[in-house]
């Protein structure tokens, strides 16, 4: 049976990106996304819900996101879901789903804070050996092996 893990999300950053580095000196940026959904309920009332998603990007893409994005700005991300499990300091089992970003595109117009650069740029995250799935990532244009 074939497996497929692909996520495409467009939303706004919930906090400023947080850049750090792996022991291998690979840049890593963590940020949150808020994705809003509006609809009408069966009784005609306007409804809205927000989904909050943690995202992580590696390599040059991580540095680009950190440099040009701030809380509240819109971005489109493409990547894969990652399931993490750990035990808290209190001994409770914890888990969460997050998105490992492979590609992204900045949405909206140029920033008005005077920052130059690539307000509508796109980026591709560098593959990271420890994070890449077996067999590597499938890129647009590659043949899908199933």
Considering the entire predicted model, what is its pTM? 0.73
Domain count within the chain = 1
CATH of the domain at 26: 2.40.50.140
Contact by Cβ (8 Å): 46, 24: no
In a domain, 84, yes or no: yes
In a domain, 129, yes or no: no
pLDDT per residue as tens digits for the range 37-86: 999 999 999 999 999 999 999 999 999 999 999 999 999 999 999 999 99
Q: Is 12's pLDDT higher than 90?
A: yes
In a domain, 115, yes or no: yes
In a domain, 144, yes or no: no
In a domain, 50, yes or no: yes
Percent of the chain with pLDDT over 70: 74
Count of Cβ atoms closer than 10 Å to residue 113 Cβ: 6
In a domain, 140, yes or no: no
Percent of the chain with pLDDT over 90: 71
What range defines the domain where residue 100 resides? Answer: 7-124
């Amino acid at each position: 049976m074939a497996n497929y893990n692909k996520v495409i999300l467009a939303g706004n950053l919930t906090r400023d990106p947080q850049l750090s580095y792996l022991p291998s000196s690979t840049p890593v940026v963590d940020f949150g996304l808020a994705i809003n959904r509006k609809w009408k309920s069966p009784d005609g009332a306007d409804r809205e819900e927000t989904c909050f998603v943690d995202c992580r990007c590696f390599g040059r893409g991580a540095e680009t996101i950190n440099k040009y994005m701030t809380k509240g700005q819109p971005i489109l991300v493409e990547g894969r879901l990652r399931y993490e499990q750990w035990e808290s300091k209190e001994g409770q089992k914890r888990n969460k789903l997050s998105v490992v970003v492979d590609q992204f595109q900045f949405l909206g117009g140029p920033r008005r804070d005077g920052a130059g650069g690539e307000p509508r740029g796109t980026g591709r995250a560098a593959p990271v050996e420890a994070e890449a799935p077996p067999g590597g990532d499938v890129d647009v244009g590659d043949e899908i092996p199933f």
